[in-house]
Each structure stands twice: as C-alpha cells, then as structure tokens.
A and B are shown apart, each in its own frame.
Chain A
Amino acid sequence: MELLRFSPPAHLDDAGAGSDFPGLWHDLVSGLIAASTEVSGRGAYVNPARRPGRRDRERAITWTGLSRPLLMEHRDDRRAAYRAAESRDAQIEYLEWHVEREGGTISRVTFTTETPEYWRLLADVRPEVVLALYRRHVSPDIAEEDVFPDGEYDPANRWNTTDGIVHYIMPINSMGDLLGVSQEVEPSQHAVDGYDALPYSRATGADARINFDVWAMSRQGLSVATADPPGLYMIGWDDSGWTRPDGTPVGDYWTIERGSRGAALRVTYAVPDGEGFRVGDIRIGGRPIEFGGQIAEHITMSAHVVSGGSHER
C-alpha cells in the first residue's frame, strides 16, 4: 500500500506549475493528523500519509449549512435563528456567507467553505495570486495594503469580513478543526452504539455527524481516513419549492466560482439581471428571503472519508 499525498481542496491549482505549494500543503495537512488514533472500539482514525492501509469504501459525511445551535436556541422562532445567523461569528457549521443588499433587499449571497490554512499558505508562497484572486472574486478595487497590511497577509481584512468573503474567519471553522474533530475520542471510551454515546454535549450538526460516523465505523474495527483531497465542500443544495414573485419555480441561480458540482468551495446565489427581480424577492416555501441563513439552511455540506482494514465479523 502506498502512502497518500494530500491534494489541495477540489484539486485547485492556484499556485501554478512548478510551485512549492503542493508539497507544503501536503505537509501542513499531514501535520494535523496523528499517525493513528483509537477513537472508538477496535478501529482507528489514521493518517494515510503516514500509515498505509486499505481504502475500500468512501463515505460522504453530510450536514446542514445553517447553525444547528441557533435553530435549537430559537425552536419557536425560526426567523430569530436566521437573523442571529447573519453574523459570521455564528456561522459555525463549516459554511460562512456574505450577504449583499440593494436598498435593503438581498441581491447576492456568497458562500464559502475555504479554510484559513489554505489561504495563509498561498499568501506565503504566492502573495500575488492571493491578491489576484481577491480582486477577481470580491472586488477589482482591492488595494494590496488592504489584504497585506505591513506586507503580512491579514485573514480578517475588510474584503474577507465586512465587505466580502474569501475564506473562513470563524475560529472553529478550519482544516485543523475538521481533522481535529475527526480524531476525537468517544468520551465514555466504551460506547457500544450510538445511543450509548448520549448525551452528546456539542451542539453543532457538523461535529456530531463527523463524530458519530467515524466512531461507528471505528467500532466495526475499520481504519478511517480522510478521502483525498481532504476538505469541506458544498455537496449540494435544494431549491425546490423556491418561487419567483409570480409564484413560478426559480431557475438555477447558483454559480460555482471555485470547486466543482458536488464539491463546491465558493458559490454565489444571485438572480441574473434579465429576470427583473432579486434574491430578496424569492420565497422559500412561501416565505420571503430576508437572510442568507435561509439559503444556507438548504445547502448540504460534506466531508469525505474512506475506510478499510479488517472488517471482521
């Protein structure tokens, strides 16, 4: 069995041919995963770059883009949950978004699953590429000192916070957090099934989903590893039941700006100019879109794992 070399998210090639970036990225990701961690039962979460193993079955681990903690906190007032979710600080399901409005009406929402680790490394290796990508995706007016004050990349620059979005800024959204959660040990250390692992204290859907899936596979004696490329993706979205102002179904207003269908990293939702209305004029199940979180609620997130090893019965 060969050791794996980790590829950049969605196999992006921002740094271009001949760059050191792929090797540095591999080292960065590998550094976030222990060689092997006994997470639950007889199996383990392993680092496929350091521990060769069978990679028999891939599994998409999926969850919902809107904060589950907010939905639980506001069980009787969903609108309050959407409102609270507009703050990037509350966007804790590995999906962050930026809302643009025209006269108070939403005109565009941009979603990202890109990690700060990726952008920091790219800024180290190819700062001019980072600036070019900011200008292409956020605004052509971006000055170098906005993004690189004093020559250092600032992840919390205004074009990634108040005036735009490029990658995660919420502290618990990162590649390190994804891989850290994946290596968490089942707290009781002797749960024999998913019910036994209750009560489960973490509130996000993402953490629970990753934990419970990895633990379940590990209890079967499987070794579990991240699929390649490691990362967080928008695997899909569901806009059925979304209607235009005249009540007819919406068209496909999603644009994948980075990544690909089924593995999207950066997506915008905006109504094409010729349609004569804006995102805020769309209704979801009869309710007008007032907040980006109403769209995030219908985005399905994913991380992928592979498993293999002795599946003894």
Chain B
Amino acid sequence: MSDEGAQALAALMAHAVPRLSGIELPAPSAPVARDLDKAAEAFAAGEPRFDAATTRDIQGNVIPGFNKDHQRFLFLRADDVVGARAWLRWLAPRLSSMQEVLDFRREFRRERLRTGATDPTTAATWTAFALSAPAVAKLLGDGALEEMSDASFRQGLAARSTYLGDPADPAAAGHRGGWRVGDTGSEADFLVTVAADSAADADAQASLIVEEASRHGVSVLFAQAGENLPGTLGGHEHFGFKDGVSQPGVRGATADGELLAPRYLDPRDPHARLFGKPGQPLVWPGQFVLGMPRQDPADPLVPAADEGTFPDWARLGSYLVCRRLAQDVPAFWDFAAAASAQHGTTAVHFASMMVGRWPSGAPVSRTPERDDLDLAGDEFANNHFQFDDDTKAWTPAADLVDGGYGGDPHPKARADVFGDTCPMAGHIRKVNPRDSGTDFGAPADTMMRLMLRRGIPYGPVLAGVADPSPELVAAERGLVFIAHMASIEDQFEFVTRRWANSALQPNAGGHDPVIGQAEVYGDRDRTFDVRTASGQAQTFALDREWVTPTGGGYFFAPAISAVGGHLAGGTEGVG
C-alpha cells in the first residue's frame, strides 16, 4: 500500500462527530395534539393507516429496520420439508415485528436527540426471516413460485449475476462460482437475521435458532457475522465513510397516530409534503411492502392506482436483496491517493468526491473544500441538499423548534448542474440523483428506485488504525449489503445496472467509482470524471476493483403470519 494512501486511511475519523443534542421531542406516551394533527393530515392526504394487526405482521427489519451493532446472518438449507415447516412454526412467534421495533426506535430517537447518544441504553435482540425462490418452490410448489411477480426473484441472484456486472470469467474474483454462498446449487433456502446490542446476545440467539433448525433438518450453509465498526467509525463502512445517511421516509402512520417518517419541516415549507427530514423523500410504503399503496410514476403526492400483483400469502411481505461485498480498502485508498496527486488535491478530498460525502457523512455538495463534523452531526442538515439548483433554507417544524433545534446554520449547497463540486458519477449522486432529471424521467421516477438499506460491515476495521500489521491489512472485510423493496428488477437491479454500472446514466460522467462494475467483452475498464478548477473533465481510469461480490441471494421476507401459517402449513408442496 502506498504511503500516501496508508496515511490517509490511518488518519480517518480521528475525531468524533459531535451529534446534535439538547432537543426534547414530545413524550411518546402523551403525544401532543400537533403530532396527532400531522398524522391526521397524512391520512387526509391519502397516506395509509397501519393498523395494529398490520404492524404486528410486517417484519421489523423491513420497517423501521433493526439498525443494531451486532448482527448474524444465517444462510440455511432445508433438507426436510416437513421438518422445515415445523421449524417455521417454532420460529414465527420469535420474529420481531414492525411494532416491536417501532416502540424501541421511538424511545431511542428521543434519547438520541436529547443526549447525542449513538447507542441505546436498553437492549433488545431481534430476529428476521426470509426465503428464496427455491424455498418457495419446496414449501409451496412450482406453481406458487410462478405467482411471485418479480421475475428476478424467481431467477435468483446467481442467474442475474453477470447482468449486475459481476465477472463472467469463472477464473475472476467475484465470479459466482467462487462465492461463499449463493451460486446456483449452493443457494440458501432461508436467510435468518439476528440483531442485538452485544455480540454475545447475537451469538446466543443465533445458536438457539441453528440448534432448533438442525433438529428439523434445516442446516447451516453459511453464516456471517456483521459488526458495526468501533469508536468514531461507528455507522461507517470499511473505506471509512459514514453509511446509511440517506434513507427514504415511509409514508403512513400507525393507528395511534405515529408517523413512520416524522415530519420535521414546517407545513408552510414548499417541500413539506415531499420530505420527512430535510432531504429525506417520503415514499409510499408499497415500494417496500407488498399490498400497500405504492409510488405513482408522475406524482409523488398521490399513490399509484393499483397495488401490484402478488399471491395472497405474500401480502405485507418484502423482497430482500443480500450481497456479500468484499472491500479492498488498501486498493481504494491507493487509488484515491494516486488520483488526488494527479488532480492536485488531498487523498481524502478525492475519495470524498468518489463517494459524494466526506468520511464524517457531511455532503460534499454542502462543504466542497473540507470535512465538516458539525454539519455531519446535524441529522436535520446532513442530508439536505440538491444537485441542480441552489438548495434553499428549510423551515423547521414548530415542535422541533420548541424542542430546542436552533435551525440549520451550515453552508448551503450551490447549484452543481455539471458536477463541478460533486462529480456526476460520485456514488451518492449516481444511486440517487435527487432533484435531477434522469434517463428514466423526472425526480418522481427516482423516488420509485429507492430502497430501504439494512447493511452492516463484516471483518476487522482497518480505517483509523495506526501501523496495522500485515495480517490486519490482508484480512477480509466488507459489507453485508441488505436492502428491502417491492421490485428487485425496478429498484436494486435498476440502480445497479442502469446507473452504477453505466458511464452514461443517469448522467454522463463515468461509472460509480465505489460499487460500479462494467464488462465489455471481457474488458472491465471503468472511468470516473472529475472537473478541474476550470471546468474541464478529467477522466480517471479506475484501474483496480475494490468491491468484489462474494455471495448473497434474492429473498422474500413474508409477513410473520405467513411464516407460521401458509408457509408452515402448506400442503401443496412437493416435499
């Protein structure tokens, strides 16, 4: 590894991000009238009511997401269908519901805003379940699989691998033949996710599940531990950048009047009906959960006319994409260091242009020259930016102001239609072009492409480590990418193939330099354009690959009632 790259990597996140604190949100046990008013307004605008039966049925890692520091991913194979059904009956009551996780999140959000804490003070261990296409066929029969409208799910990740840009050469790293799990023939039937506040809790729950599974002819094909990175890198991925800052807000509220995505903009703000937090687009829940109102192709304020096609048992379920992505951290920073020298900037600045955010998570669009930890720590500001026009000041809602939020004093993003500040191919601009037009239309279309990301790193941290041993440098590390959506083809595959892997879409300017892959008749060349101070495009060849797929699968996370009911009791299966 080059000295420059190693130095930049070792120095990452030397200081903690000062999290916003001192804000008192209304107590959840006694919601003030304003909160109920907001939910009533949402209902009046057609947003769905998640009644108690629904919030008990949707799995909690779909909405609102586990977001725990310690996770275990169990890739399981059902060798005995009768046994598997019995195991599903055992598992179903142990799955964590949307309501359970919502209750926890509500408390933790208040605590976080009050104290700036990044860890909750109470513990919880949660479990999620999903099954693959082969498992649907095993449990319910081939006909039932055909009823699943997502053709990519029916085919599976391995069959779609080269379509996603993975190498076609069986000898190449990343080819599905070398995956740890998920190649054709080694596909998991089930994916169980355990999330906890300590590694011990996660391991204990995972052991319990595996033990019970093995008694029912369900065996472990592969297991992967995911661990949040330590210290100041908490919430970051292995290259050193804050991950998961930008997530869509799900429209709708519980029967109690709790909005799934709280509205923090003043109703008079011109974008109040489009965003939850500033920069967090509100998306109709049917984009993530089958059977709920989904996004209209033209108008983000109204739901589409229909809810889509799916079998009854799949209602309130969600497709899940899992990709185990190995990250070559030294290669990434070697490239950033070499390219930065050519461009005339620092390695950290160049790497931040590749990502579109600084390591802290502060968006390059708002702070083009240097990282800004205060901006990064303001969760109402760190995602508030657009690309095509100057980003206007936003008006906080009254309850946020009353709670103590002093407003967003950070520098604003300026119009950047040519990618002078945040390159067109910068990762976050590639996968979410926000306010810009795209190859598929207006920003309303982009809202149909968003996913609920639930990923977590695996492997030992290298970023921020001074003088790492050769063994540590060489250790395997990466990201367990997990995302929930209603259409694998129109969301995950669309964003991956048509945007990240393309030098031309959604905007010309090169490939996504973080996750993009390209293969043209065996040639895997990729490029990344950065603008010089005079506005000229400077094209860099991305001469190494620092993200390599090493496994995964396409799954479906059913409603909890379907796990213990239809899937466990189906008699039409072939087992």
Contacts and interface: CB of A to CB of B under 8 A. Distances in A.
Interface of A: 56-57, 59-60, 62-64, 68, 72, 75-79, 192-201, 203-205, 208-209, 211-213, 216-217, 219-220, 235-236, 238, 240-241, 243, 248-249, 251-252, 284-287, 300, 302, 313
Contacts of A64: 439-440, 498, 505
A302 B160 CA distance: 27
A193 B387 CA distance: 9
Given A199-B298, A203-B297, A286-B159, A192 B521 contact: no
Chain B residues touching A, majority SS: loop
B163 A212 contact: no
Contacts of B381: none
Contacts of B521: 249, 251-252
B522 A249 contact: yes
Nearest to B392: A192
Given A199-B298, A286-B160, 7 more contacts: A56-B535, A60-B504, A64-B505, A192-B389, A205-B440, A219-B389, A241-B161
A286 B508 contact: no
A267 to B, nearest CB: 16
A128 to B, nearest CB: 38
B444 A198 contact: yes
Interface string B285-328: 00000000000111111000000110000000000000000000
B442 A198 contact: yes
B538 interface: no
Interface of B: 149, 151-152, 155, 159-165, 168, 270-271, 274, 296-301, 308-309, 386, 388-389, 391-392, 414-415, 417-418, 434-445, 487, 489-490, 497-498, 501-508, 518-522, 535
Contact of A195 (B155, B168, B435): B435
Contacts of B164: 241
Contact of A199 (B159, B162, B168, B301): B301
B298 A243 contact: no
A236 B510 CA distance: 13
A235 B445 CA distance: 22
Contact of B165 (A57, A217, A240): A240
Contacts of B497: 238, 241
16 contacts: A63-B439, A68-B441, A194-B388, A198-B443, A199-B444, A205-B439, A208-B437, A216-B389, A235-B504, A238-B501, A240-B165, A241-B164, A241-B168, A285-B159, A285-B160, A313-B414
B451 to A, nearest CB: 16
A19 to B, nearest CB: 34
- Give the residue among A199, A240, A300 with the most B Cβ atoms within 10 A: A240
Contacts of B414: 313
A300 B442 contact: no
Contacts of B440: 63-64, 68, 205, 208-209
Given A243-B162, A300-B502, A59 B298 contact: no
B387 to A, nearest CB: 8
Given A59-B418, A78-B489, A241-B164, A209 B441 contact: yes
A64 B448 CA distance: 16
Contacts of A195: 271, 274, 386, 435, 443
User: 7 smallest A-B Cβ distances: which pairs?
Assistant: A212-B437, A241-B163, A285-B163, A199-B299, A194-B435, A208-B441, A216-B388
Contacts of B508: 59-60, 62
A65 B45 CA distance: 35
Given A195-B435, A240-B163, A300 B392 contact: no
A192 B507 CA distance: 21
